[in-house]
Amino acid sequence: MTKKEKKSFNQSLAEWKRFIYNPTSGEFLGRTAKSWGLMVFPKPLSALEYTFSASDPSSYRGYIEDLRKFLKPYTLEEQKNLTVCPDGILSEQKGPVYVACQFPIFLLQACSGMSDPDFGYSQGSPCVLVKMNRIIGLKPEGTPRIECIPKDENVASISTYPNNGIIDLKYFPYYGKKLHVGYLQPLVAAQVIFSANSTKKEVTVECKIDGSPNLKNQDDRDKFLGRVAFKIIARA
């Protein structure tokens, strides 16, 4: 009996110790290290739902304008002062001047708005941009990428641009608004392509960060920590 009690006491003591400093996650007093939040564009008005009709341009005009506006800093014109950075490595800098890396908009391919100014909405295959929240000093490990999966694969398939939803490490770390002038956060576009044989044109898509051990994509409370879910409803 006493032994059992002692054990439980030791257990709870261990819990407290782990609480005060958790060596595996580097948490001190339960404070979580920072993680990306994911956010999608265009920003819908209410819950994350995009409703449009391919045959009615007025139903998606708002989305297109929003996307254009958001992509404005990404035009080649705007980026010409930015640095072309080597792929695949972190752009750690010591200052005093911090340079920002180019994010060429063509990486977004079909969703870049260059070939298709309607971002696929007029074809019934809408583009949604996924971006990561800026966090100062965050250095992702491994090869982070955004993976988007439709809830029902029979209804639709997703194409991500850049290919495989890769996020290049060269855009990290971020040094803050004042120091890191002109910084562009990397984007991933997800294009929803409804199956031709499916009558139902409605799908929920979940995108999350993958391939990086220090970036969480699962939090009970925060539905936007390393992931985002949105719904596309295409009317006739």
Partner 1 sequence: MGFGGKKGTVSPSERNPSPRPKRRPKPIQKRKLKRKNVEELKQEVVLDDHRLTLEQLSAKYSVDLSRGHTPERAKGLLIQNGPNVLTPPPTTPEWVKFCKQLFGGFSLLLWTGAILCFVAYGIQLYFNEDPSKDNLYLGIVLAAVVIITGCFSYYQEAKSSKIMESFKNMVPQRALVIRGGEKMQILVKDVVLGDLVEVKGGDRIPADLRLISSQGCKVDNSSLTGESEPQSRSPDFTHENPLETRNICFFSTNCVEGTARGIVIATGDSTVMGRIASLTSGLAVGQTPIAAEIEHFIRLITMMALFFGVTFFGLSLILGYGWLEAVIFLIGIIVANVPEGLLATVTVCLTLTAKRMARKNCLVKNLEAVETLGSTSTICSDKTGTLTQNRMTVAHLWFDKTVYEADTSEEQIGKTFAKGSDTWSVLARIAGLCNRADFKTNQEHLPIAKRSTTGDASESALLKFIEQTYSSVTEMREKSPKVAEIPFNSTNKYQVSIHLREDSSQTHVLMMKGAPERILEFCSTFLLNGQEYPMDEEMAAAFQNAYLELGGLGERVLGFCFLNLPSMYAKGFPFNTDEINFSMDHLCFVGLISMIDPPRAAVPDAVSKCRSAGIKVIMVTGDHPITAKAIAKGVGIISEGSETAEDIAARLRIPVTQVDTRAVKAIVVHGSELKDMNSQQLDHILKNHTEIVFARTSPQQKLIIVEGCQRLGAIVAVTGDGVNDSPALKKADIGIAMGITGSDVSKQAADMILLDDNFASIVTGVEEGRLIFDNLKKSIAYTLTSNIPEITPFLMFVVLSIPLPLGTVTILCIDLGTDMVPAISLAYESAESDIMKRLPRNPKTENLVNNRLIGMAYGQIGMIQALAGFFTYFVILAENGFKPFDLLGIRLDWDDRFLNDLEDSYGQQWTYEQRKVVEFTCHTAFFISIVVVQWADLIICKTRRNSVFQQGMKNKVLIFGILEETFLAALLSYTPGMDLALRMYPLRIAWWFCAVPYSILIFIYDEIRKLIIRQRPGGWLERETYY
Rounded distance between C-alpha atoms, residue 112 and residue 9, angstroms: 59
Q: State the nearest-atom distance from the C-beta of 184 to partner 1, in Å.
A: 12
Q: State the nearest-atom distance from the C-beta of 193 to partner 1, in Å.
A: 26
- What is the CB-side half-sphere exposure of residue 198 using CA atoms within 13 A? 16
User: Among residues 37 and 124, whose Cβ is nearest to partner 1?
Assistant: 37
The SS3 of residue 158 is strand
Tokens of 56: 């009615």
Rounded distance between C-alpha atoms, residue 43 and residue 130, angstroms: 10
User: Among residues 15 and 65, whose Cβ is nearest to partner 1?
Assistant: 15
Q: State the nearest-atom distance from the C-beta of 230 to partner 1, in Å.
A: 11
Q: State the nearest-atom distance from the C-beta of 12 to partner 1, in Å.
A: 10
User: Among residues 44 and 53, whose Cβ is nearest to partner 1?
Assistant: 44
Residues in touch with partner 1 (CB under 8 A): 15-16, 19, 29-31, 37-39, 44, 46-48, 131, 133-136, 174, 176-178, 180, 183, 219, 221-225, 228
User: Among residues 193 and 224, whose Cβ is nearest to partner 1?
Assistant: 224
Q: Which amino acid is at 11?
A: Q
Q: State the nearest-atom distance from the C-beta of 40 to partner 1, in Å.
A: 9
User: Among residues 94 and 221, whose Cβ is nearest to partner 1?
Assistant: 221
The SS3 of residue 77 is helix
Nearest CA among 67, 78, 74, 85 for reference residue 190: 67
Tokens of 43: 């920003």
Question: Any residues with CB less than 8 A from the CB of 80 and at least 6 apart, and which?
Answer: none
